Amino acid sequence: MATRKSATAASRKKPAEKSGLNGGITEFDKATELEAYREMLLIRRFEEKAGQLYGMGFIGGFCHLYIGQEAVVVGMQMALKDGDQVITGYRDHGHMLACGMEARGVMAELTGRKDGYSHGKGGSMHMFSKEKNFYGGHGIVGAQVSLGTGLAFANKYRGNDNVSLAYFGDGAANQGQVYESFNMAALWKLPVIYIVENNRYAMGTSTARSSAQSNFSLRGNSFGIPGHQVDGMDVRAVHAAAVEAVAHCRSGKGPIILEMLTYRYRGHSMSDPAKYRSKDEVQKMRSESDPIEQVKARILELKHASEDDLKAIDKKVREVVADSADFAQNNPEPDASELYTDILL
Amino acid sequence: MPIDILMPALSPTMEEGTLSKWLKNEGDTVAAGDVIAEIETDKATMEVEAVDEGTIGKIVVAAGTENVKVNALIAVLLEEGESASDIGSGKAAEPAQATAEPEAPAASEPEKAAPVPAAPVANEALSDPAIPEGTEMVPTTVREALRDAMAEEMRANEDVFLMGEEVAEYQGAYKISQGLLQEFGARRVVDTPITEHGFTGIAVGAAMAGLRPIVEFMTFNFAMQAIDQIINSAAKTLYMSGGQMGAPIVFRGANGAAARVGAQHSQCYAAWYSHIPGLKVVMPYTAADAKGLLKAAIRDPNPVIFLENEIMYGHTFDVPKMDDFVLPIGKARIHKKGKDVTIVSFGIGMSYAIKAVEELSGMGIDVELIDLRTIRPMDLPTVIESVKKTGRLVTVEEGYPQSSVGTEIATRVQQQAFDYLDAPIITIAGKDVPMPYAANLEKLALPNVAEIVDAVKAVTYTA
């Protein structure tokens, strides 16, 4: 386990060299590599389909795609046990799929249909699953950080060993309530992992233009919260960091921050032309650091599976996604009577 | 000349206190800064320091005296060369009078000169249907009622906990949580840093996970820092999750004007929160309602805004002695039956209304006074039924006039009982200004009894 000292500016290395909390990568075995591949691919294909349905007018409002960041949720989720909770902001489709929520229910919510997870009343940014311990899906930047700290408060109050994961972006990392939460989480030793998904842009504003301290792993220093930068494009590095962070929280040592260095390929939302960055920058990340391609290359190199095997996985994933899209387009809209339900219990 | 030592005011709302202990005796010399006595206010026991130096010439109010009014003479200090025989040459030598009168409703000062009512109306609620006949009634302050409600619910349900600034070690900024830390421990009575946005979010998250937090805001003015979590997270999650998860949580604390604490600390949020679907908004007046409704709020599976008032905390009302006294949220209470005109009020607004009702009774006008108790969901049927009988309606509240609770009631009454109205509805509210500090301006900014009396005369076409 790395100490707080590792969270210093000097420790910031090039993403490619980074991994785990100490820079070490635990190699995945065959089954884990294939699982990671499948999970990340599901998110990728799902998001591509969501983008397509948005263009066709089936999905309305805001729609924030997770393409490029898949390794973060998949690597984190692999370190969790039943009972651990997840909460995030509005870029939440990947988190829901990683939590085991059904593609059909998520896609049907995106299209605003009756069998969506929120019966069409939440939409892309506001989805929940009590069953899968997914607490949203929050549209107010930073709100999920306090709420996720509250989930940890409840775990500590009940004396169980569950851990809560509060995901937020580099943009949310500048919100005041994040630091209010850090303070109380450290004060009360709450079992919460703060995961900063640093994809370099808060909407169109780069971290360099928005953040006086853009090493977000250091943001807990004044509260004594250890923090680590992790190569968020390498699912093995994410997983290694997750395992250590979860152990840290479960053992009663209080909160921990993981800064995931990641990248979103698409715009902030579907309506973002992304004029604030160059196409070359995006292309470079795609070709050199893609989280799925990394896993795929290893699988083939180590002969965990053949090209044909991977194609078969891809085909199954496409089937799941196509089925969800079909379901989401044909599922009826919520009944008009639903307008006045679920306001009060 | 001997110096008069007067009973000090030690909080914005303190009107009287108990002189619990003298730390100096007659004949003792004191220097400026010496602690000479201990005084118990409605909030805390405070030490009183000497301002001047000299010798205690006479102790006028004995230790242990209760209900000593602010500014009453409590002792006389002799300066060098003076003796006890000089006492009496000062300007204020009347001993303080300990009073045993029941406390007058708050903010009564401006109305002191109003005509004395001929037939006083009991300042007590009509018997509540929720209280079985013959139940023993115990005089209880609103403060104690709120504390008892929380303690009872915390005993009954392990998931209930209290969180807020100064709720534990300090025993509550307004002493509402007195004794709870001792009974329930630091796990369930949680002192927070001064960080409303953050701790409100944490409490809502804990509620989403199934706990039953009670969040105390020192005052609701500070909840403005947290209003996003209250509205966007607590109130909307049940709907946004398609009914999967909500936030069973109570947000409670002092609301509205206290006494001369200025614009940023004197605001009524009844209308604000009543605007929001997904919230319940409760604002009790009596101690019995405070207890019964707070217990109901804690048990409610929805987020409940529970608006208290600092001035009311020390006021005493009868509270039924029952094992489990719970009142329904969303039910108004007819405080006094009448036939000529309906007055609807809630919270501290009731104290103005009650005085007006007494005065109007002396003029032969028989008012039906309704205490709304819950602002959302609003018990409109009770109001409509009353208006159908009286044909006239006046509303009274302390909040700002535009988009007030009163304007909401007026809109709905004219929609649902237009044919029964014999006069335009008058809505009385605080004035459309930030609360001023100066004592005279503050009185002008708040509603007053004369306004209500005039309004009732206007709607009843009484000269």
Domains defined for chain A, CATH in brackets: 15-327 (3.40.50.970)
**Among all residues of chain B, which has the CA nearest to that of A192?**
B202
pLDDT score for B109: 40
Domain residue ranges in chain B: 3-80, 114-124+332-459, 137-320
Q: What 8-state DSSP symbol labels residue B95?
A: B
Residue A331 to residue B169: CA distance in whole angstroms? 56
* Angstrom distances, CA of residue B311 to CA of B72, B174, B351, B379: 21, 10, 11, 26
Confidence band, pLDDT 50/70/90 cuts, at residue A17: very low
What are the residue ranges of helices labelled H in B109-236?
A: 142-156, 180-184, 196-208, 227-228
Residues of B with catalytic roles = 196, 265
Say yes or no for a CB contact (<8 Å) between B240 and A187: no
How do residues B215-232 score in pLDDT, each as one tens digit? 999 999 999 999 999 999
Q: Are B427 and B458 within 8 A, CB to CB?
A: no
pLDDT tens digits for B385-429? 999 999 999 999 999 999 999 999 999 999 999 999 999 999 999
Question: What architecture does CATH give domain B114-124+332-459?
Answer: 3-Layer(aba) Sandwich (3.40)
For the four alpha carbons of B356, B362, B365 and B371, in that order, the dihedral sign comes to: positive
Q: Which two tokens stand for residue B130?
A: 């929720």
CATH code of the domain occupying B137-320: 3.40.50.970
How many A/B residue pairs have CB atoms within 8 Å? Answer: 145
Q: Any bridge partners for residue B17, and if so which?
A: B68
The answer for A 182-241 residues in CB contact with B (under 8 A) is 183-184, 187
B158 touches chain A (CB under 8 A): no
A100 — pLDDT class (breaks 50, 70, 90): very high
Q: How far is B264 from chain A (nearest CA, A)?
A: 21
Whether residue B98 has pLDDT greater than 70: no
Residue A19, pLDDT above cutoff 90: no
Alpha helices by DSSP H, listed for B209-269, are: 227-228, 237-240
The pLDDT tens digits for B136-183 are: 999 999 999 999 999 999 999 999 999 999 999 999 999 999 999 999
**Stretch among A61-65, A150-154, B282-286 having the lowest mean pLDDT:** A61-65
Say if residues A190 and A254 touch (Cβ distance below 8 Å). yes
Q: Chain B residues with CB inside 8 Å of A127's CB?
A: 241
Residue B88 confidence (pLDDT)? 64
Say whether pLDDT at A215 is over 90.
Answer: yes
pLDDT score of B129: 67
Look at A146 and B197 and tell me if their CB atoms are within 8 Å: yes
Rounded distance between C-alpha atoms, residue B43 and residue A245, angstroms: 45
Residue pair B368/B389 in contact by the 8 Å Cβ criterion: yes
Predicted confidence at residue B23, as pLDDT, reads: 92
Mean pLDDT, range B75-91, rounded to an integer:
75
pLDDT at position B46: 85
pLDDT tens figures, B310-358? 999 999 999 999 999 999 999 999 999 999 999 999 999 999 999 999 9
Alpha helices in B209-283 (DSSP H): 227-228, 237-240, 270-274
User: B137-320: same fold as B114-124+332-459?
Assistant: yes
pTM above 0.80, yes or no: yes
Residue A18 pLDDT exceeds 50: no
Residue carrying structure tokens 């009107």: B15
**CA B99 vs CA A150, B67, B69, B103, B108: distances in Å:** 48, 6, 8, 10, 17
- Give the pLDDT score at A273: 84
For chain A, the 3-state helix, strand and coil shares in percent, each to the nearest 5, are 50, 10, 40
Residue among A135, A149, A158 minimizing CB distance to B202? A149
**Contact with chain A for residue B240, Cβ under 8 A:** yes
**Residues of chain A neighbouring B276 (CB-CB closer than 8 A):** none
Residue range B197-212: mean pLDDT, rounded:
98
Task: Give the pLDDT confidence of B129-138 residue by residue, as tens digits.
Answer: 678 888 999 9
Using a CB-CB distance cutoff of 8 angstroms, which residues of chain A are in contact with residue B208?
135, 147, 150-151
B209 with A345: Cβ contact below 8 A: no
Q: Which residue bears the tokens 């094992």?
A: B323
Centroid of chain to Cα A102: 16
A328 residue type, one letter? A
pLDDT in tens, A144-167: 999 999 999 999 999 999 999 999
For domain B3-80, give the CATH number: 2.40.50.100
For residue A27, pLDDT beyond 50: yes
